[in-house]
Amino acid sequence: MGVNGMTKGRPAPFSGRRPGIIRRIASVPEVAVATAAAMAFALFTALDRSMLMPVNLNMIVTRSSFIGFAALGMSVLMLVGEIDFSAGAAATFAGLTYSLLARSGWSEATSLIGALLSAAAIGWLNSFLVLEVGLPSFLATLSTYIVVSGVMPFVYGSPEAFGRSSLAGLGAPSPLFGAPWAFIVFLGAVAIGEIIIRRTRLGPLLWSTGANPQAAEAAGINTAAVKVACFMFCSVCAAIGGFLLIATMSLAPAYGEEWQVWVPAIAIIGGASLRGGSGSLLCALLGTLLLLIIRTGLGAANLGNNAQGVVVGGILVAALVVDGVRRKAKNHRTV
């Protein structure tokens, strides 16, 4: 078998030329999601002008601040290759802990901290089930969700409204085009998170733990500790998201079940892969906006909740296909 036989007649895949500027821009996941969001917005505006009404825009921006915060935490967790279906339970649990503590006379700040700690405890429980017991992460977090949301009504009773707290001020419009302060908080968190991940050692720490845990361990990274921290971070972000929701909507609806599916969906659409090692916070932001544009657009066009399921599910499938195609293209380059 000569040299020619080994190449199987295909030209060498590495051509030595940089791919064109268009292809390089298109390969950035943020661009893809931002483009999709812009296109969706244009589409819905074309279908029904009411999309441009301030109340709808306000709804998009407000809702994205709390569900986006939870997606933030989820993106980080997916960076290390795990998923969390208990986000909604952590948020509700934290909310109930806060009202319990506040009713018992603790100061507001300490009640908040206590609530966030309780959410971190749920995150720790998730990590324990995954790392010590060895359950796959979706099952571990799903069980946590079922148990926590099943037990909560008996232990805690019903949640209390937060109207009295200073958090309610977060719903007020800020100087930024009148978007609520909660959105500013969200944007700030995304900005800070992106800076931390891209500029400090934390970024490569997370990426390597997710993309190749064995190599990370060999390099001296304590992958178990990283994963525990990420699980706790995800639950705390979900809890913060829950507080933002209560602050902006000034009521405490049961948001567990909805979040269970939408939050990981946003993270995946935003480029996170369940195999770990990819995803970014900016993508979480853009993915959240995309999802909410779709939901609000479908609502404005009176297409109802079920259309949302189809559209979001379809986008998720499309995102998976795109991810698969991109991965295949990457594998074909032998350099």
Partner 1 sequence: METPVELAKVARGRGIIQAWRNPFRLQDAVLLFVVVTLTLFFYALNPAMLALPTVRSILAAASYPALVGLGLVMLMIAGEIDLSTGPVMGACAVFAAFLMKYAGWPGWAGAVGGLALALVVGLINSLLTVKMGAPSLVATLAVGITIRGASYMITPGVPIYPVAPEVAVVGSWRPFGLLFITVLMLAGLAVAQVVLRQTRWGAALYATGGNRVAAEQCGINTDRVKIACFMLTSLLAGCSGLLVMAQLNAGDPIIGRTLELSIITGVVLGGASFLGGRGSALGTVLGAVLIQIIKTGLILVHVDTDWHVVILGVLLATSAALDTLGRRRRV
Distance CA 88, CA 235 (A): 9
Q: Does 212 bind partner 1 (CB under 8 A)?
A: no
Among 138, 224, 233, 249, binds partner 1 (CB under 8 A): 138
The interface region with partner 1, picked from 58-66, 162-170, 224-232, 303-311 by CB under 8 A, is: 303-311
Distance CA 126, CA 130 (A): 6
In sign, the C-alpha dihedral spanning 251, 112, 143, 71 is positive
Among 302, 306, 334, 335, binds partner 1 (CB under 8 A): 306
Distance CA 278, CA 289 (A): 20
Q: Does 317 bind partner 1 (CB under 8 A)?
A: yes
- Helices 223-249 and 181-199: crossing angle in degrees, nearest 10, is 160
Compute CA distances 146 → 76, 87, 151, 224, 234, whole Å. 23, 11, 8, 25, 17
Nearer to partner 1, 171 or 297 (CB): 297
Whole-number CA gyration radius for the chain: 22
DSSP string computed for 105-137: T--HHHHHHHHHHHHHHHHHHHHHIIIII---H
- The CB-of-127 to partner 1 minimum distance in angstroms stands at 14
Q: Does 332 bind partner 1 (CB under 8 A)?
A: no
Nearer to partner 1, 20 or 132 (CB): 132
- The CB-of-303 to partner 1 minimum distance in angstroms stands at 9
Among 33, 60, 77, 129, binds partner 1 (CB under 8 A): 129
Q: Does 224 bind partner 1 (CB under 8 A)?
A: no
Contact residues for partner 1, defined by CB under 8 A: 83, 129, 133-136, 138-140, 142-143, 146-147, 150-151, 153, 261, 264-265, 268, 274-275, 304-314, 316-317, 320-321, 323-325, 327-328
